[in-house]
Amino acid sequence: MESARDPEPDTAPDRNGFSGKPLVASRSFLWSYVAAIVLAAAAAFLVRIHIVEAYRIPTDFMSPTLLSGDHIFVDKMAYRRWKLFGPSALPARGDIVVFSFPSQPKKDFIKRVIAVPGDQVSIADGAVTVNGAKITSREPSPTGEDEVEESIGGHNYRVSWLKDSAQPRKMPPVQVPAGQVFVLGDNRSQGQDSRNWGFVPAKFMKGRASVIWFSSGKSAKGKGIRWQRIFRRVE
């Protein structure tokens, strides 16, 4: 009969039945796991700060393009093509942009760029004109809820007006100064924009809205997930 050999020192079980060697391996795995989590968190932080960030739309100030309950991705590299940590490109006409509100930098706003430096913009009876060309398809009804089409910079979209809106339907011609943009909400009856507080310096731009990645809220079918809006490109 063969006699049992004594276990070798580096694999001998301890009083809890675990050998010393696996215990060392478990510690190594634990530290690797922690390091992976830390690196993933750091990568996610860098992506959020410099590349893309998710936002939830809390109001209907940009409807019908963006609705309350839409979740969007914002491309933070859109205006940082050449200089990683600072803006190097101005937004284009028609872009939907997220920016820090100049007088309250901790607050983020989302609006559509209508005019860029050097442009002349005016509004008459709700219709917007940029550099002498009317971008609104027709004048919105002054007596009821209405949606009209606009087209600028290759973007085609709809804007909404509500009955008895307190927002101005007229604005005399103004020229956009260097380094700034003129913005409007797609819902022209609700929320404030450049008609109320003027131009927005480009240095406050955070990025361009790119896609709706999730949406939940009211719809014609009731309240819930709005599947038809998910992965819709923001125009």
DSSP calls for 205-225: EEEEEEEEEEEEEEETTEEEE
In this structure, is residue 181 part of a structural domain? yes
Q: Does one domain contain both 24 and 86?
A: no
Residue ranges making up the domain that contains 29:
9-47
pLDDT at 21: 47
pLDDT at 22: 46
pLDDT at 79: 86
pLDDT at 34: 61
Q: What is the pLDDT of residues 152-172, one digit of tens each?
A: 999 999 999 887 777 888 999
pLDDT over 90 percentage in the chain: 58
Return the residue matching tokens 């803006």.
87
Return the residue matching tokens 């819930």.
224
Q: Does one domain contain both 136 and 162?
A: yes
pLDDT at 89: 77
Q: Does one domain contain both 39 and 82?
A: no
Task: Give the CATH number, domain containing residue 103.
Answer: 2.10.109.10
Q: Does one domain contain both 164 and 75?
A: yes
Q: Does one domain contain both 41 and 61?
A: no
Provide the strand spans (E) within the chain.
Answer: 52-56, 70-75, 96-101, 104-115, 120-124, 127-130, 133-134, 146-152, 155-161, 171-175, 180-184, 200-201, 205-219, 222-225, 232-233
pLDDT at 219: 84
Domain count, the chain: 2
Note whether 180 and 202 are within 8 A (CB).
Answer: yes
Q: Does one domain contain both 33 and 103?
A: no
What is the mean pLDDT, run by run of 10 residues, along the chain of 235 residues? 42 41 53 62 49 90 96 89 57 96 93 98 95 94 86 95 82 96 95 95 93 91 91 94
d(CA 77, CA 70): 21
In this structure, is residue 2 part of a structural domain? no
Q: Does one domain contain both 39 and 126?
A: no
Q: Does one domain contain both 43 and 57?
A: no
pLDDT at 77: 86
Model-level pTM?
A: 0.76
SS3 76: coil
Q: Does one domain contain both 33 and 124?
A: no
Q: Does one domain contain both 99 and 125?
A: yes
pLDDT at 3: 43
Q: Does one domain contain both 14 and 112?
A: no
Q: Does one domain contain both 166 and 99?
A: yes
